[in-house]
Chain A
Amino acid sequence: MNRIRDAARSVLPLLATLAVVLPAQAAAGEDACTDCHLGMDESKETQARLFSHWADDIHGQVGLSCADCHGGNPEAFDDEDAAMWNVENFTGAPERTEIPSFCGRCHSDPAYMRRYQPEAATDQEAQYWTSRHGLLLKEGQDKVATCTDCHGVHGIRKTDSPLSPVYPLNVPETCGRCHADAAYMAEFGIPTDQLAKYRSSVHGVALFEKRDTGVATCNDCHGNHGAMPPSVKDISKVCGTCHATNQKLFESSKLGQIFADEELRFCEECHGKHGIQKPSEAMLAWEGDGVCLRCHTDADTGPREVAGAIAASLGKLRSHLEEARAEVQHAEEKGMEVSDLLLFLEEAHDGLVKTRTSVHTFDPAQVTRAAEPGHKAAQEAIEGARALVENWVFKRKYLLVFTVLTLPLVLLTYLKVRQMERS
């Protein structure tokens, strides 16, 4: 019995490996590299790492083979020297510091890339050498990220594949593999709480909970291949990539000018960076978490009045919108068709977002003007919902009238039948 168990123990891992490797081998086709490396006494993990995801690899899918990246002669079966060591272009596995140029041999060559993906960018390597990662790698720091750390090895998927580590939904985790690892990052002396903060931020919630791939993630602010923290001067431009109106209004405001003169960190001063929360009029409060108090004091009565007036405008519109939502919900609960009113609610919500944007003018009059369309839409929703509830009441009145009319008819018919049957 024990011998059977022992035999099973030795055969099962081999079968498991073959199950992984054989389909991969079939996918790779007849090739001296796979022919040899599958037969070599390498550990099963190494074989699995080399071949098990090859079928998913974009390079394999477009017909590239091991030799296209690593060099060598894939037709030299059973002759190690002829297959690798005596072949001039044989590179083998590159060192970490060589990886960018290793990938760049093809990816930086527009003529070559055009054959496979004519619209593909070919500046990744050039950008990489300008990034913080690239600059440190040049200095010999090989713990920094290179191409394979983010894109993977031997299982590299297209970036629009949801399984790719650089697909928008996966980017924070991919960057966080190093940047959230305090022990790994210790020698660089930078914080490692970015991922945790991002998760609870307005962007992180949209990305992870709503699966919104359009929301800003690490590379949208820091860059992809040229990743670098934005400089103080560039912060508003980085945020302005998406929040263009906010940027424009703030930069042309009086406060924007002061920020520029004082070399303050624009958006970040009030909103923070990785942990940016959804804005509300609480940010304008002259107490508690109010952001104005970070620079102003109680003695600044002018700014305090401006902040108070803007917060009041925002609060008024928000309350109006909440009232409209409650009225529409009330009508909906009564079984009324409210889809048209939902459009008004959406319009009112857009109005609130635009009003919040107008806060960056720091002009109460402009904020009040910006709130007007939102108020109008909220009022339309309220009036529409009230009309529906009136209609709901009307239906019940109609039913009462109908019942009052039909029941005597039923009674009269009954009496007539009785009279007829008696006679």
Chain B
Amino acid sequence: MSRIYDWFRDRFDLDAVAAFAKKKEVPLYRGTFLYYLGGICLFLFGLQVLTGILLLLYYQPGENTAYESMKTIISRVEFGWLIRDIHGWSANLLIFFAFLHMFSVFFGRAYRKPRELTWMTGFILLALAMGFGFTGYLLPWNELAYFATRVGTNIPGSVPVVGGALLKLLRAGDEVTGATLTRFYGIHVSVLPALFAGVLGLHLLLIQVLGMSVPPSQERLPPEERRSIRFFPNFFLRDVMVWLVILNVIAVLAVFFPWELGAKADPLAPAPAGIRPEWYFMFTFQTLKLLPAHILGVEGEVLGILGFGLGGLIWFCIPFIDRWEGSHKVSRAINVFGVVVVVYMIVMTIWGYLA
């Protein structure tokens, strides 16, 4: 082992890397468990890549092959059901933990100077992950996915001025067809992974360069009272421990709650009852559903989409809006804003499922 290390050390400056790894520390306080969230997301993304590649070996995009190949994967390919279920569950858990990670960063004020770009790249990663979810949902080409995509692609279609073009760009035509499936497949397995890998690399680099953020409450403590642990190997081993637990949870979910394939999509069939988007789009879907047809002469849906666009932009730019970052004062307004957003998302999601 040491010979291999020496071989590399002769060629690369491994000692610098080892020194950096030794120096890297994680703050130790009541909220340390929140630092696991980013690692969990990274682990789940790794699972996504791995299971996604395995699915690619058998999946055949196309109106007449997608559903059939999915059926083959879950019923004939050895452990195909497991790979598909892990892919589906880890995708959902990834978005769930990414949301948790984002809110923990938000309420811990981890976006403050100098970590504005870390926040922004994280936000982009979440948006890309949701894009993965949206495009991946259609790939089995089943009834529910087909109609949910029809409804889902209608939403960007309502954006003023560019809506029509956006709709055509997404659907590869006026309707959701086999061409949309091929397009979503291309986006899901090449465009999004390339973008995600680039932004993730930048996000991780920024974390290494800027170190772990500590919340204002810890920063206010005198240096001798601040505690920390080494990232390697202490925190990393803790990370591994959590990953193993998560992997087991996914295995339980895959065995006890497998993803149903349902009936094959039939564009000519009437839309089945209970069409709904994936849970992480539910709050937007429910909001748009509740809006009246017209508000002050403007189409309700258009206003809703513009509202979400504006909300997303504010969220994205929060490091520049939170003016108290330098003085370590806790901004009550920002906290209230964050709580309102969280409560709104939870209430609308629950309402969407109960409606």
Contacts and interface: CB of A to CB of B under 8 A. Distances in A.
B255 A399 contact: yes
What's the dominant secondary structure at chain B's contact region?
helix
Q: Is the interface of A mostly helix, strand, loop or mixed?
A: helix
Nearest to B68: A339
A402 B234 contact: no
A410 B244 contact: yes
Contacts of A336: 75
Interface in A334-370: 335-337, 339-340
B245 interface: yes
Contact of B71 (A339, A403, A406): A339
B263 to A, nearest CB: 9
Interface in B249-272: 251-252, 255, 258, 260-261
A403 B253 CA distance: 13
Given A335-B258, A335-B260, A337-B74, A417 B247 contact: no
B319 to A, nearest CB: 33
Interface in A368-423: 395-396, 398-399, 402-403, 406-407, 409-410, 413-414, 416-417, 420-421
Contact of A407 (B71, B75, B238, B248): B248
Contacts of A409: 244
Contacts of A406: 244, 247-248
- Most chain A beta-carbon contacts within 10 A, residue among B245, B247, B255, B260: B255
Contacts, number: 45
A403 B81 CA distance: 18
B197 interface: no
B75 A410 contact: no
B251 A396 contact: no
B160 interface: no
A417 B248 contact: no
B248 A396 contact: no
A45 B117 CA distance: 77
Given A335-B260, A340-B75, A413-B244, A402 B237 contact: no
Contacts of B71: 337, 339
B234 A417 contact: yes
Contacts of A339: 71
Contacts of A414: 241
A408 to B, nearest CB: 10
B240 interface: yes
A403 B244 CA distance: 10
A402 B247 CA distance: 10
A337 B240 contact: no
B245 A410 contact: yes
Nearest to B79: A398
A342 to B, nearest CB: 12
A169 B243 CA distance: 62
A413 to B, nearest CB: 4
Contacts of A407: 248
B241 A396 contact: no
- Indicate the member of A336, A340, A413, A416 with the most B CB atoms within 10 Å: A413
Interface in A296-342: 335-337, 339-340
B244 A420 contact: no
B350 interface: no
A90 to B, nearest CB: 49
Interface residues of B, number: 21
Contacts of A413: 237-238, 240-241, 244
Contacts of B247: 406
A62 B276 CA distance: 46
B255 A421 contact: no
A414 B229 CA distance: 15
A417 B261 contact: no
B234 A420 contact: yes
B233 interface: yes
Nearest to B72: A337
A407 B244 CA distance: 8
B241 A410 contact: yes
B234 A396 contact: no
Nearest to A336: B75
Interface string B170-203: 0000000000000000000000000000000000
Contacts of A416: 237
B261 to A, nearest CB: 7
A388 to B, nearest CB: 8
Nearest to B240: A413
Given A399-B255, A402-B251, A337 B261 contact: yes
Nearest to B264: A339
Q: Considering the complex of A and B, which 9 residue pairs feature the smallest CB-CB distances, nearest first?
A: A337-B75, A413-B241, A399-B255, A410-B244, A417-B237, A395-B255, A335-B258, A406-B244, A406-B248
20 contacts: A335-B260, A395-B255, A396-B255, A399-B251, A399-B252, A402-B248, A402-B251, A403-B248, A403-B251, A403-B252, A406-B244, A410-B244, A410-B245, A413-B237, A413-B240, A413-B241, A414-B241, A417-B234, A417-B237, A417-B238
Interface of B: 71, 74-75, 81, 229, 233-234, 237-238, 240-241, 244-245, 247-248, 251-252, 255, 258, 260-261
Given A399-B251, A403-B248, 11 more contacts: A337-B75, A396-B255, A398-B255, A402-B248, A406-B244, A410-B241, A413-B238, A413-B241, A416-B237, A417-B238, A421-B234
